[in-house]
Structure formats: structure tokens, C-alpha cells
Amino acid sequence: MIRVGMGFDVHKLVEGRDLWLGGIKIEHEKGLLGHSDADVLLHAVSDALLGAANMRDIGYHFPDNSSATLDMDSKIILRETVRLIATKGYRVGNIDATVCAERPKINPYVQAMKTCMAEVMGIDEDRISIKATTTEKLGFTGREEGISAYAVCLIEK
């Protein structure tokens, strides 16, 4: 059996926070605001995996009002998500994700993100596609107020 899931996440860019995307720290004058480390890419992927397995969303499993998840490394969220879907007999087939940001440029970091995510999930890097785009200066992303990420995944039993 195969199933498909879709995930989306967005976080506001603020000063005084580190910028984490795809499990790696990226040098930038602003970081993403959130209860955890606010890694929009890992959150979107985790939501896609949970959705495909019909297991709700990351807010259900990792609530943003819990002291246990405060400042949590999103790699922990992703690793636990893979473990959760495995309890229903699923494994990751592939992931296709897009990060939407005006700055910083994401493409120089894509390979490091793929390597990190593959290690966290215990899968081959070839199963992960990460793309980057801008909104051509339109909307909150275009004004550099935040970053969003979209992810689609296939899981297999």
C-alpha cells in the first residue's frame, strides 16, 4: 500500500534567532520565530508524513504550548515522526519539498539539507528533493517577513 501526504509550514523572520532550515544552521541576520527551532522545512515534511499515515499533524504530537517541546531541535520532531509512521507499518518512499524565501539564497545549502535529512530519517538522499523559490518580492515572503515550506511525500507499507 502507498499513501501520499502534503505539508505546509510558515514562520516569521525575526532578529535574535538562529536560522535553521532542513536541519542545518544557515548564516543570516534573522532567524525564524517559533516554539521549537522553527525549521519550516522539517515541519512541512513531518506534517506531510503524518498526514499520509493519517496520524494528524505535528501540533498534535508536538504541541507548541508544552515545555517539553520548547526550543526543540526539529530533527528530533522529524526522527520521531518517522518512528510514529513506522508504528503503523509505513516507511518513507520519497519527499519533494520547496522552500519559499527571498533571502538567504537556499540553493547553496540544498545538498547539506538533503544529507542531514537523509541521516535523520535513515533513508537514501536520492529519496529527498529540495527546491527553492521566491515570491518575486510579493507578499510576506517577498517583504522578507517570513519563510514558508511545502512538502509532498509518499509512504509505503
The verdict on whether residue 136 carries a ligand-binding annotation is yes
The verdict on whether residue 36 carries a ligand-binding annotation is yes
The verdict on whether residue 16 carries a ligand-binding annotation is no
Instruction: Name residue, grid cell 507499507.
Output: 157
As a CATH number, domain 2-156 is 3.30.1330.50
The verdict on whether residue 127 carries a ligand-binding annotation is no
Phi, psi of 11 (to 5 degrees): -140, 150
- pLDDT for position 11: 97
Is 0.85 topped by the overall pTM? yes
The verdict on whether residue 96 carries a ligand-binding annotation is no
15-26 residue pLDDT tens: 999 999 999 999
All three cell numbers of 112 = 547539506
The verdict on whether residue 37 carries a ligand-binding annotation is no
Decide: 155 and 49 in contact? Cβ < 8 Å.
yes
The verdict on whether residue 9 carries a ligand-binding annotation is yes
> Domain-by-domain residue ranges, the chain?
2-156
Segment 12-21 long-range contacts (CB within 8 Å, at least 24 positions apart): 12/145, 12/146, 13/144, 13/145, 13/146, 13/147, 19/104, 20/74, 21/99, 21/106, 21/109, 21/113, 21/147
Give the residues of the chain that fall short of pLDDT 50: none
